[in-house]
Structures are given as C-alpha cells and as structure tokens.
Amino acid sequence: MIPLFALLCFGENLTTEDLEKALAKKDVFFLDVREPSEIAELGSVKGYVNIPLGQLESRLSELPNDKLIITACNRGVRAGKAEGILKQNGFKTLGSCGLNDWKAKGKPLVYPKKD
C-alpha cells in the first residue's frame, strides 16, 4: 500500500501502458528530468524535452500552460518530485513515470544527436 503522503507529493505513477496511450495524444508534453548525460546513455521517449530536476524551478517559463505534462526519469522518483513542483506552480500534470520499465519492455527510445 502506498502511503498517503507519497500520493500527495508524487501524484500518479504511470505504467508503460498508460504512458504509451498518453503519448498518442496531441495535448501532452513529455518532460524528462534526468541529467543530459543519463539521456545520452539510456535514451528517452520521442519528442521529449529535457530540464534536469535541479533546474526545473528556475526554468518553469519554458513549460506550456495549455498541455498536460508527463514527467519522467529512470525509476520515477525524480519525476514524482518534478510533478509535485509543477502542481505547486499551477501546471496540469497527467502523472510521472520511470523509463526503466519502458526500456525493459522493448519500447522505442531516442538518443540525443552528438555534436
């Protein structure tokens, strides 16, 4: 059973299946809060925008107010924290997820272009 404080702080944890359905919608913004080096090594979901968790509060102006935001990291912990920050600042979120499961299930990943 998930403690109530965790639900209040972190919101909804999306499964791989939930994420796949959500990404098919046009009104969703996918925010990867990992460090760029992690994304370069592990990949992310097509169309992702990267703002590392440590920079999120200072970069909120880069996020859309008219879309549902999904936050992601490797296991979902940082993504849950990011979702809490977004909610506290008036953004609409759909949930958070960890991409380890996405990768383990063989779902497609993209990697940043190397200079």
Whether 47 contacts 102, CB under 8 Å: no
Residue 45, number of CB atoms within 10 A of its CB:
19
CATH number at residue 89: 3.40.250.10
Tell me if 33 sits within 8 A of 79, measured CB to CB: yes
pLDDT tens, 13-69?
899 999 999 999 888 999 999 999 999 999 999 999 999 999 999 999 999 999 999
Supply the pTM of this predicted model.
0.88
The answer as to whether 112 is a domain residue is no
Residue 56 is assigned to a structural domain of this protein: yes
Does residue 67 sit within a domain? yes
- Per-residue pLDDT tens for 38-50? 999 999 999 999 9
Q: Quote the domain boundaries for residue 70.
A: 4-104
Query: 13 - beta bridge partners?
Result: 96
Number of domains in the chain: 1
Question: Which is it for the CA torsion 101, 36, 24, 70, positive or negative?
Answer: positive
